[in-house]
Chains A and B, each alone.
Chain A
Amino acid sequence: MNIKVKKVALCGVLTAFASIAFILESLFPPIILPGARMGVSNAFILLATIILGYKYGFISLIVKILISAIFSGNLSSVMYSLPAGLISLTVQCILLFKVKNVSVIATSISGAIINTTVQNTVFCLVTNAVEYLYYLPYLALIGAVSGFLVGLTVYFSLKYTPKKLLVK
């Protein structure tokens, strides 16, 4: 099969998994604080970025955010989740591809904390609720834990997925 077709197909599958994970997660109550979530969908975005490259990673992220907003019926969430996702994935790409000695887990934790911080800040600016910043340190801490778990998931996925299934 043509390599590009294979890449697009795998990108589509990972984006679908990410969107489904996000929508399923939306059905569960938040962890400890409002807005806190495990971010399981980020594991698929990180996998797409590592396996297929940063371009597919960004496409996967944007499509996931749009699909999730449409299906969860909360289009206004795009306003704060899109800039947060783009900034955090940019930092993750730099750590993955430009910095040599940084592991996937450290990359994932950085992405999670940056995502939470940017999302919370944009959210406060958009909704004019500066008081919400009070929760930011706690949300960032929860983000660090979820980032660690997502990083671990990606690490084991890369370790145990047969190489022939990955695009080369």
Chain B
Amino acid sequence: MKNTANTANENKYGKLFLGGDVFVYCSLFFCLVLLFVFLVAPKNTATCNGFSVFQDDKTVFTFTFEKSSPLKIESDYENLTEVSFNQDGYTITVYTNQERTAYNKIYVDTVNLTAKVIESNCSERKDCYHAPAIKTNGTIYCSPHHLLIKPLSLNNKGPIAG
């Protein structure tokens, strides 16, 4: 392998397109098609039954749509969770440390059966806040707070990812 590739391959770096690119682009296109075929295309026949929220593999709370008392908060998190609700859904604030300085506010929409992070102080970027609302597909993960929101699906005959 040449260290001073700049001089050795000056012609290679001076062109926008080379013959070998066709093979590379075809291979990448094929891989992308495979990813879509296996992970997105299969129809998910699951019905969303609720959501589970975890922190470092420990369950924080479980929300089940079908039950009369839908919210079950684990004992470790009883003092770290605040709940408010209106006719359309529940707003659940989860404090992710004992000092109650780090939090994620999760909104569970009981009409559309979706969950979304509506407020967080995790980072400037706030990936969790910008994640789309989840129903039967996908998940929301807040990396700085190690908080994971997953749908509870019954009769899941769809793709592993859905």
- Does residue A19 face the partner (Cβ distance < 8 Å to B)? no
B138 touches A74 (CB 8 A): no
B148 touches A129 (CB 8 A): yes
Scoring A residues 41 to 57 as 1 if CB is less than 8 Å from chain B, else 0, what string do you get? 00000000111111100
Scoring B residues 7 to 41 as 1 if CB is less than 8 Å from chain A, else 0, what string do you get? 10100111111111100110010011001100110
Interface 9-residue window, one of B63-71, B76-84, B91-99, B120-128: B120-128
Distance A88 CA – B103 CA, assembled complex (angstroms)? 34
Contact of B35 among A52, A104, A137, A159 (CB under 8 A): A137
Size band of the interface chain B makes with A: 35 or more
Chain A: interface secondary structure?
Answer: helix
Q: Assuming the A-B contacts A26-B125, A34-B130, are A105 and B16 also in contact, with contact meaning beta carbons closer than 8 angstroms in the complex?
A: yes
- Does residue B105 face the partner (Cβ distance < 8 Å to A)? no
- Does residue B118 face the partner (Cβ distance < 8 Å to A)? no
CB of B118, distance to nearest CB on chain A (Å): 15
- Does residue A59 face the partner (Cβ distance < 8 Å to B)? no
Scoring A residues 25 to 38 as 1 if CB is less than 8 Å from chain B, else 0, what string do you get? 01111100111000
Task: List residues of chain A with CB under 8 Å of any chain B CB.
Answer: 26-30, 33-35, 49-55, 72-74, 76-77, 93, 95-107, 109-110, 113, 117, 123, 127-138, 140-141, 144, 155, 158-159, 166-168
Task: List residues of chain B with CB under 8 Å of any chain A CB.
Answer: 1-7, 9, 12-21, 24-25, 28, 31-32, 35-36, 39-40, 57, 123-128, 130-132, 137-141, 143-144, 146, 148, 150-151, 159-162
Q: 10 shortest A-B CB distances, which residue pairs?
A: A53-B3, A101-B20, A134-B161, A131-B139, A133-B161, A34-B127, A137-B35, A34-B131, A106-B21, A102-B20
